[in-house]
Amino acid sequence: MALTPEKIEEIKQQLQGLSPEEQKKKLQEILQTLPEEEREQLVGKPQCPFCLMAEGKIDTKKIYEDEDVLAVLDINPATKGHTLVFTKKHYQFLGQVDDHDLLKLMKAAKKVSEALLSALKATGTNIVIKNGPGAGQVSPHLLVNVIPRYDNDNVSLQWNPQKTDDAELNEIASKLSSAIPKEETQIISEEKLEIEKEENRIP
């Protein structure tokens, strides 16, 4: 759906009288509330740098590539050898990735992890996916960070454990298990079981 002239005028009114910095901040807030088509109408379609890397239009320090996935060295690494693994097809969030690409993505992350351990003598790796703004994601493209770990590398992925009582854990477990879709095979087997029960029932 395209932006109407009235909507554009409304946005202009919201920006009017603000300093350039305040306008920039306000515009970002407005853009986040708009559907993709309307957002592109206002500011144009943004070019994803990771898609450009996949197309060979941005130079990278490539360490792995197949038909679906690319792995490149991070230019601002947490540690030596920090690698970004991503699909060539554009996905912004984990939930959008289809099963085929997800499998290829994780297989590539595994290969990179093993290479970091053997070639750079890392003592471990952290596999980090920042999925959504609340998780610190700033990239428009979903990335798997494979971070090699070394003794005394000053990288911290720690958090303070929170105390949670049993009742709250039960409530959370119930909500989450209900929100996770059942595998199709499981649904089919449950339906088959119900049919068998009906067939075996004594009239």
Condensed to tens digits (0 to 9), the pLDDT of residues 61-77 reads 999 999 999 999 999 99
Is residue 55 located within the same domain as residue 141? Answer: yes
pLDDT at position 125, please? 98
**What integer is the mean pLDDT of 97-103?**
96
Is residue 139 located within the same domain as residue 194? Answer: no
31 in a structural domain:
yes
155 in a structural domain:
no
Q: Which residue has the tokens 């379609």?
A: 45
What's the structural domain count of the chain? Answer: 3
User: Tens of pLDDT along 167-185?
Assistant: 999 999 999 999 998 875 5
Is residue 57 located within the same domain as residue 141? Answer: yes
Is residue 17 located within the same domain as residue 89? Answer: no
Please name the residues in contact with 188: beta carbons below 8 A apart, sequence gap of 6 or more: none
pLDDT at position 84, please? 98
CB 116 within 8 A of CB 122: yes
User: Tens of pLDDT along 35-93?
Assistant: 777 777 776 666 899 999 999 999 999 999 999 999 999 999 999 999 999 999 999 99
Is residue 79 located within the same domain as residue 116? Answer: yes
28 in a structural domain:
yes
Q: Report pTM.
A: 0.69
Is residue 99 located within the same domain as residue 131? Answer: yes
Q: How far apart are CA 130 and CA 143, in angstroms?
A: 7
Is residue 53 located within the same domain as residue 11? Answer: no
124 in a structural domain:
yes
Q: How far apart are CA 152 and CA 145, in angstroms?
A: 20
172 in a structural domain:
yes
Q: What is the CATH number of the domain that holds 78?
A: 3.30.428.10
Q: What are the backbone angles phi and psi of residue 126, rounded to the nearest 5°? A: -110, 135
Is residue 80 located within the same domain as residue 119? Answer: yes
Q: How far apart are CA 64 and CA 67, in angstroms?
A: 11
Is residue 39 located within the same domain as residue 54? Answer: no
Residue 190 has pLDDT above 80, yes or no: no
81 in a structural domain:
yes
Structural domain boundaries, residue 175: 166-200
Using 50, 70 and 90 to split pLDDT, how confident is the model at 1? Answer: low
Using 50, 70 and 90 to split pLDDT, how confident is the model at 192? Answer: low
179 in a structural domain:
yes
Is residue 76 located within the same domain as residue 12? Answer: no
Is residue 67 located within the same domain as residue 127? Answer: yes
* pLDDT: which is higher, 132 or 1: 132
First and final CA of the chain: distance in angstroms? 58
